[in-house]
Amino acid sequence: MTLLDDLSAFMGEAFAAAGLDAAYGRVVRADRPDLAQFQCNGALAAAKAAKQNPRALAGMVSEKLSGSEIFAEVTIAGPGFINLKLQDSWLADQTKRHGDVWLSEAPEKIVIDYGGPNVAKPLHVGHLRAAIIGESLKRIARSAGHEVIGDAHLGDWGLQMGQLISELELREPDLPYFDEAFGGPYPQDAPITLGDLEAMYPAASAACKADKARADLARAATKALQDGRPGYRALWRHFVDLSVAAMKKDYGDLGVDFDLWNGEADADALIPEIDKDLRARGLLEESDGADIIRVARDDDKKEMPPIIFRNSQGAVGYHATDIATIVDRVRNIDPARMLYVVDARQRLHFEQVFRAADAAGYFAEDKLEHLWFGTMNGKDGKPFKTREGGTLKLRDFIDMVTDKAQSRLVENGMAEGFGDVETAEIARKVGVAALKFADLSNPRTSDYIFDIERFTSFEGKTGPYLLYARARIRSVLAKAAAAGAGEPGEILIGAPEERDLALAVAAFADAHRDAYQKRLPHILCDHAFSLAQAFSKFYAACRIVDEGDDNVRASRLRLVEIVAFQLDKIFDMLGIEALERM
């Protein structure tokens, strides 16, 4: 139960006592905090259903709350809004009760598919949102008690593999990988470097677009790879190993970690079995030389094209491997739910795949969720690019933000007294916090503009501001310990700033629950910022370490302790590394 759950239950009892449905008792935070802390709007809906006057009905419900130990004030506003203000003593108890994370009553095993990088291509800013959002959702779900497995789901089995193999064969035809008579073993070391691989891909892609014969070579190589040609499989293994080693470093610097580094190829062995099963069910049919699955429904309001399971050359694409991956996860993980953190451009693709998986009986469509997201744009409103108009590598982007963070530390006098190594580490954490909070604080489904000047500032709703707030809060606790200020004690609310901070603290469980259930990390970001702001006002108005009254000092230390705990929890769920001092 969260704070809003508790208040809704109490109000529900009042509605029931007035002879109305308890469901009308839902409580929300007040639209006008200057007038009330919370409000219940159920009297309007109840009056409409009962054909009564809403204000009179609201008055009847309010009478049932008379003498409550929970509400200090219950008033009626407008046509029948019930405004609520809590008793300070009851609110004080809620800071302890709702100051921790929310735990699901029905924990599940969940697979989160995020990242989705392609082998042989360096990570770029286009990979940023999937990684950051997916990592945060994984952590939010785990904190709620769910068992969560994160899978990178590499793009390692499509046409780009055939393009690379055919490109290398044209450049180095004498390599043993291309000799069908070669009996092995193949070399353990890759015949190319990561740099070679990253340079080969755009060259191969451009050549295939310009020349049909070259494109045919790539398609033939893709088919041979998928059919199991040994030399091609050995080369493919080199390509994957080179790419994953580089990806792990870049993702690691972002604080992003995957439990599984599986790719499309890991489900390839299931394709023949699934092909046979789909044919037996009458779901797979031939069309213009390709094998398709029709997923359109009679009630569709938009065109829903069929899935191409195999193309006319006999090779499988993303639709087939995504279906096979679902089957593979069911057999090896047996999750209750699968979440896909992939950008909005793939909405049709996942709708098709989910429908096909459901029709085949592999996994229920309502347990498959595409958590799509908008784009990160530059100040021109277009997807973020280099000054030259090219795609910005993720490594270069991280370095750019880290450099800006370091200059911000110098500007604000925060780099004084630290050695070069510690300053560089602080700058790295500040830069990554700026980058991640900028992304996560914007609603997942919205596009946003990355403004490096604004997001690296130590003022406003930014990652650096929260890092600084957290460090200051921890310094208060350290000073209290050094001064022998005593242990934190029972919370006593007296000053308005204490009340506002207690209200912010008690909102944590609601924020955590909403962030998980709505799959929206920005809700936790909003809570963290509100909490930091409430603490700043409390810190300015209330003595803490040098407070003369022992009970008041112990109470305020308890509030500081809970705020520090919550920020640490939120930082962990957002994947942001905290700083002990700045």
Contacts of 503 (CB under 8 A, 6+ apart): 37, 91, 534
Cβ–Cβ < 8 Å for 177, 238: no
User: Tokens for 101?
Assistant: 């994370």
Strand order in the sheet with 368-370: 147-151, 109-114, 337-341, 368-370
Listed as ranges, residues in the chain with pLDDT below 50 are none
| pTM: predicted TM-score of the whole model, two decimal places | 0.94
3-state secondary structure of 109: strand
Domains and CATH numbers, the chain: 3-86 (3.30.1360.70), 427-439+451-574 (1.10.730.10)
Residue 213 CB burial class (10 angstroms; 0-12, 13-18, ≥19): exposed
The closest of 387, 536, 401, 399 to 455, measured between CA atoms, is 401
Sequence letter at residue 365: E
Residue 73, beta-bridge partner list? 85
Q: In 82-211, which residue ranges form alpha helices assigned H by DSSP?
A: 88-97, 128-143, 159-171, 194-210
Distance between CA atoms of 95 and 102, rounded to whole angstroms?
Answer: 13
Strands 307-310 and 290-293, by their bridges, are antiparallel
Q: What is the reported pLDDT for 157?
A: 86
Q: What is the reported pLDDT for 316?
A: 85
* pLDDT tens-digit readout, 242-256: 999 999 999 999 999
